[in-house]
Structure 1
Amino acid sequence: MKLFVASLALALAGPCHAGKPGSELPEGQAPAVGGDIVDASGKVIASAYRALAYKFGQDEGVAYRFGPPASKAGVPTLPLREDIGAISHCSGGPGCKTYYQLGKESSTRDNAYVSTHGVAIGTPDTPNSVAGSVAWFQAQATDRETWMQRPQLLWQDRTLSPPALRDYFSRGALSPNSAAGLPIAETRGEGGPDGPSTRMSLVATQGSPTEGATIYTVGTYTAQQRAFVRLPAGKVPTALAVTPMSEFALATIWDTVALKGQVAVIALGGVPMNRTWEKRDDWYDWWHDWMDGSKPGFPNQGGIGFMKVVGYVDLPANVTAPTAIKVTTGIDPVAMTVHPVGKEISSIGALGSPLAGKRAKFLPGGEFYERYAKGGVAVVTSQSEKTAAFVDLGPLFRHFNSMYLDTAEKNAQTQKLGMGASQWPYPLAPGSMPVVAKVVTVPGTPVAVETTATLGHWSKDDRERVPGTPYWRTTPRYARAWIATREGELHIYSLGRYAAGPKPTTPKPADIEPVGKVTGLGSNVTYLAKSKGFPGRRDTANDSVLFTARGDRAWGWVGFSDDQNGGSVIRRMADSRVDPIVVTEADQYSTAGGVVTVADYTGKAIRNYRFSSVVYPRNSNQTSFCPQDKGGCPTLTPEGEYAGSLDLPFRPFSVHSSNAP
């Protein structure tokens, strides 16, 4: 390990640039302590910082972010569940088939078809090949009473490279053979299936000292809206997050000019697929989203067709090199869903259109008032500086909610969209800019962060019976942030009233406090992800979390206690085939299945594994395919099973998937 760190230190050494406060590298001095980008006092060294910023997607950057490759020996090899058949979706040869591993193709009943699509990014085999560093694929599917758990090409589009890239090349958003266009960060909102933040992945490029980075969308086959923003040269996005109702994207920034850390705030707006925000006279009902124009910064159904940077939050001097970010508002995105009595299910977007004439529905006392966020908090960590910053998003949400709802005059301004400073959404000003509420020192090296999905201050679940009486009392379960360290610990922080939920709160910095920790996650922990369906958990997105332990070739789940202040590792999986950097769960929609998708960096592949039984959503008298009353179809071993792989032309370091709408 010492030899690896020393080589990284040499790789990070680079020429000095003019800039603001930071430690320039005197001649003959070692670049940093332990091969990091900070000196003995924990202060960022400017030359190492600037050199690393433009290598985040290359070997040096991957080593910095995710540690050394997995090398553990003696890890078991999980058995592979083989293909047993294929479904043809078109006429032609093998390229028209998708392969299944359970069930038997049947067209005699209604087809409960569900498809989960994913996006992966990584370090390309061919230098500077942007098209060779981004892929989309089918992560899993249920089709014609069969179960498909092997990652494979989409049957709707038999190409590994997303067609969105071709559009961005033609529009000048990306250059197909420029190092500045290589991806370095990717995220997709994780929550319940069909949650509005889960439709699309956001991808950020590294940029260059002379060319600004780009942040753009890549969706599923049925959510292919296009949107992108270009950042000023010198601002390098290192991690991404999206708010639960797709109101905003947040990107951590290394500012290589001013030598400071920032969070870029990007307003997101939905549009129907194959439409644009500029022209709305031919809009249609796309998943019950707004019918009267895009509303950036307000709840939408996640078909992002509008993006605009509205401001940059400066982080404190001890968070100059942020490396991870996650966000919660304390309200579940499913709160947007409305099911009027006797009518088809809809959402506050469709039922609230046109907003100009229906603002009262969203004001206090209105039927939709408790169906959108009133605040939130972003949790930002810096692994080099061993710090975490908690950013209060309350001013941001109050400002945007006010513009849409307070008066007819303000609402009229929101209908004049554009990319200029005088067009909506406007640049953030004091009073509307998010503010850093608190910065803490994290014990160890913080490499990943995740938050609870709900548990807002006003959650309706936060009640319990007073023992021996017929009465109830309020028992707030404040939202939590979980910060994982490379050394294998998970630190739990209460977010108090900052995750407001559906009604306003008045949070104080003292609300944010450490409340416990979990140990024993493993060696070289690299990532945390939402748990979407762990068997036996009451509220899996809030009472458990998925982690990746690259050093052990493993991943697992932490289950939390009822008070959210402690927990333990409740399940672990490992496989000898894989060098896991990121592991995420696939959505469990109608068919339960327990599949995780692994970015195998050294193996240049996406690998799937199944950890629980497949349960098809029908009674046994209707089908013999994994019926619920017979316990479904278990994994090949109690430890799980290998579900197959998809080879890539790059070494993946990020992957996410979601149910395709």
Structure 2
Amino acid sequence: MIRARLRSLLPVLAVCACQSNDGSTSEGGTDSNGPTGTASETAGEPTAGTVDPPPTGGTGDTDDTDDTGEPPTGPYARCGAGIVDSASGEIDAARYKEVAGDWSKEAVSCRLGPTWAELHGDAGNDAPEVWGPAGQTCGGGYLTDGIPVQAGVCPEGGGCYGSVAGQALYVPTAGPGAANPGVDRIQTHAWEQGAISSHPKLLSSPEPFVTRPEYDAAALGQPIAIARSERNWTNDGVAIFANGAVGTGGTATSGSIGAYYQFPPHLEPSAITITSNNEFVLVTLWNTEEIRGELAVLSVRAPTPNAHSWWYHGLFNAGGVRELKFLGTIPLPFATPTSIAAVTTHGWTNPNDAGGKSMHSLSFTGPHKDTMVDTCYTSTEQMVDPANSQPISAFAAGGGLQHLIARKGYAVVASQWEDKVAFVDLAPLLDYFHSMYFGSEASCGETLSQFVWDKAQPGDQVLPQAPADVWPYTFDVAPESARPTVAAVFDVTAPRAVRVGVDKAQAIYGPTNGVDVWKAYAAGDDGVLHVFTPGRLMASWFEVGKGEQATGEPALVATGQICQHPTTMVMHRSLEADHPTFLDVVPEKVDDKTQEVRGSNDGVIVVCRGARALQHVVAWKDKVEVYEEIRDSRMNDPVAVWYSDRADVRTVAEFAGQKLLSYRFGRVKIEDWQEGGCGPQGAEYGPGEDGMGDHEFAGELALPGFPFHVSVANVN
């Protein structure tokens, strides 16, 4: 296999003159229609000085060759080999542009890594078949209609219910188009009355949001990726498409109609993430005019579901997205970003976080009691309803609710083709938003323009982009200090996937009995998992309050072997449901105190396409260990996995098999909040034939194409 590498440390990008949509150039600015670059200093190991970006080569008519002079070959030939000269670090501009826009089935498969056949030939799948319950066909249900009830009793209609639903992305068999844009809405777990089913179910094909006229399904092109928070509720997934569109896909309770943004043609999206509290969407871009990588920032305003969401741009919300406001971009220290993950500090998760108050009780803007003019509250005398409002001082530094606003956060961006992982500090952006909302009555008053703009638009249409001087301000209007900055760059051989720890549960909720550092993960194509600490870039509010937050720079803390050619990685979230063999790495007690680990920081699930397996990995202190591997004779081409919020159900995208496979780990419980109501009170069911197993097969769902991404969230 021939794969070009950039092995020297990529330096800091200098201030650059950037072409705008009208063909003019500007330095370090961004208008509301298209981003431009800015200066950014990158600290890595070692720290680099400011020099020119990676050089580009070719005249636009060069052959698709790498540094050997031969056409790229091997599993990655179509999606990256030959872009970078391994000796000089030079970017082949023609090859760069070709790869950036290629999202055909063959290119998507290439981006997912080598198949079993490419690595092992035609050897069959000798894994055993994982047992799964046959279930029972029931009438009278809605959520379980058409799928087997796998635990409990048949529903009779009404009563308690809930589900986990979202989107599956795939390459349509006949290619993407208006009839089949490659995004379906699916359900992966459901309960109603006494019935439970984790069998995947098709809810709508295509995803209803994608059929809206504002999206123009015929022109979207192939879907690329979709993002949801791995900590907080994100009703609407945010997806990117090959034509440069960013759009949302909904759920039954999100209360939204969709949100949309369109990048200009020279900015080709490659990966997407959303911050923990759904404040911002981050999209990696290949700039085919300047031949450089950029990170786009879009502010999220998601006022629904009403009972669970704030209605302010860039603050905590539950993901019923009304608007995506493009703020601008920052340059990345490499030209070919391929994956991204992000985290922000703990926000509101339930009324206990805010003294028992709901989100609507935390309103800090509204009509003035005397004038009825919208205002930012600085005292109770201004409030129409003091019981459901708060002064801005409550959220400012030292205020009783300051912990509800993220002030720290970061993104990890990787380039598989340039052997780099970069840490991007989001604190400048978070601090700026905090200062605008809570710094003074005057600054907060400026943010009210977001509601003026919204009210002026038709309520049944997807919002167009607001002008640059409507809050939130784009980066060319906001102060330069508001831009995120690149904090560190590390050498990692061909990083295929990245993930970030989103919750150090002990540090937030209890005594710090042996708590480990915050972690970030990068999985290399060579099967090495690199574990970093973000240092000063991340801390919980409780760590800050106790003076226990880290003060150092991002650093590598451990490496360990996992499967080679990993395809996807997600945070584990539920270590306790699996084999307790992770205790071989993590001591059960420290100083006679029971020690708890959390998958949301200390474990990842790795999808191994070429090994036909899922691997469960724990990272603790300086150790990394694969403590469990799941293989199934049905799992022949796994390329992605996501989990269900309401049960430990993991749904795998089976690319070549054109289907989704679901597996249930751990116990499920009848969720019943009504006295004597909706089924066996608190009944629990374990996996396996005897209810005592580690996991079971929950069912499969055929799709009209080749799936490569699954993203779901709680719906109730």
TM-score by length of 1: 0.81
1:309 is matched with 326
Aligned residue number for residue 201 of structure 1: 237
Q: Residue 181 of structure 2 contacts residue 222 of structure 2 at CA under 8 Å; is this kept in 1? A: no
SS at match of 2:626: strand
Unaligned runs of 5+ residues in structure 2 are: 5-22, 24-52, 367-374, 378-390, 454-465, 578-595
How far off is 1:88 after superposition?
3.4
Deviation for aligned residue 1:437: 0.6
When residues 349 and 452 of structure 1 are mapped into structure 2, their CA distance, relative to the original with a 3 A threshold, is farther
Aligned counterparts of 1:457 and 1:311: Cα–Cα separation in 2: 36
- Identify unmatched segments of 5+ residues in structure 1: 7-17, 208-212, 274-285, 465-474
Match 2:225 to one of 175, 185, 196: 185
Cα distance per residue 1:323-354 (max 9 Å; x no partner):
1111112325527764646xxx6137745454
Aligned to 1:472: none
Whether 1:346 aligns to 2:358 is yes
1:326 is aligned to 341
Counterpart for residue 576 of structure 1? 633
**Per-residue CA shift, 1:64-96, capped at 9, x if unaligned?**
343335666322222332231224347xxx995
Local SS of the residue matching 1:88: coil
Residue-by-residue CA offset, 1:152-187 (whole Å, 9 max, x unaligned)? 133xxxx321211122xx12x32x333x53211212
1:371 to 404, 427, 447: 404
Match of 2:187 in 1: 138
| TM-aligned CA distance change 1:654 to 1:529, over 3 Å | same
Please state how far the C-alpha of 1:490 moved relative to its aligned partner: 1.2
- Report sequence identity in percent: 25
Distance 1:625 1:533, change over 3 A: farther
Match of 1:30 in 2: 65
Decide whether aligned partners of structure 1 residues 404 and 69 sit closer, same or farther in structure 2, where only a CA change above 3 A counts: farther
Superposition pairs of residues 402-551 of structure 1, within 5 angstroms = 402-417=435-450, 418=453, 419-428=466-475, 429-442=479-492, 444-455=493-504, 459=508, 461=510, 463-464=512-513, 477-502=516-541, 511-519=553-561, 521-535=562-576, 538-551=597-610
> Do 2:55 and 2:91's aligned partners in 1 also have CA atoms closer than 8 Å?
no
Q: How does 1:30-109 map to 2 (within 5 A)?
A: 30-31=65-66, 35=77, 36=81, 37-41=83-87, 42-56=89-103, 58-68=105-115, 73=124, 74-89=126-141, 97-107=146-156
Instruction: Give the counterpart letter for 2:616 in structure 1.
Output: W
Q: CA deviation at 1:560?
A: 2.7
Equivalent residues of 1:338, 1:347 under 8 A apart: no
Deviations 1:581-627 (A, max 9, x none): 10122113xxxx431101111011111112333344579x9899899
The one-letter code sitting in structure 1 at the alignment partner of 2:189 is: Q
Does the CA-based 8 Å contact 2:193-2:672 persist in structure 1?
A: no
Query: Which string of whole-angstrom CA distances, capped at 9 and with x for unpartnered residues, describes residues 511-552 of structure 1?
Result: 211000221x22421111122323256423122211111111
Deviation of 1:567 after TM superposition, in Å, equals 3.0
Instruction: Note if contact 1:32-1:45 (Cα within 8 Å) is conserved in structure 2.
Output: no
Among 194, 206, 209, which residue is 1:164 paired with? Answer: 209
> 1:87 and 1:262 mapped to 2: Cα distance?
52
What residue identity is the alignment partner of 1:605? Answer: K
RMSD: 3.3
Which of 240, 247, 259 aligns to 2:279? It is 247
Q: CA deviation digits over 1:408-456, x for unaligned, max 9?
A: 11111111125111211111242110010111101x3211111111349
- Paired amino acid for 1:487: D
2:685 aligned residue (626, 632, 635): 632
What secondary structure does 1:525 align onto? coil
**Distance in 2 (alpha carbons) for counterparts of 1:250 and 1:271:** 20
Is the 2:575–2:598 Cα contact (8 Å) retained in structure 1? Answer: no
Q: In the alignment, is the contact (CA less than 8 A) between 2:504 and 2:518 conserved in 1?
A: yes
1:359–1:27 CA distance, 2 compared to 1 (3 A): closer
**What is the alpha-carbon distance in structure 2 between the residues aligned to residue 305 and residue 332 of structure 1?**
20
What is the count of residue pairs matched by the alignment? Answer: 586
Q: 1:349-388, CA deviations, whole angstroms, 9 ceiling, x for partnerless residues?
A: 7454548112011112322111221121100000111100
Closer/same/farther in 2, CA of residues 349 and 435 from structure 1, 3 Å limit: farther
Name which of structure 1's ranges 573-582 and 454-463 shifts more when overlaid on structure 2.
454-463
**Match of residue 249, structure 2, among 218, 240, 247:** 218
- Asked if the contact 1:414/1:424 (under 8 Å) is kept, the reply is yes
Matched, 1:260 2:292: yes
One of 592, 597, 615 as aligned partner of 2:651: 597
Larger CA deviation: 299-308 vs 380-389? 299-308
With normalisation by structure 2, the TM-score equals: 0.75
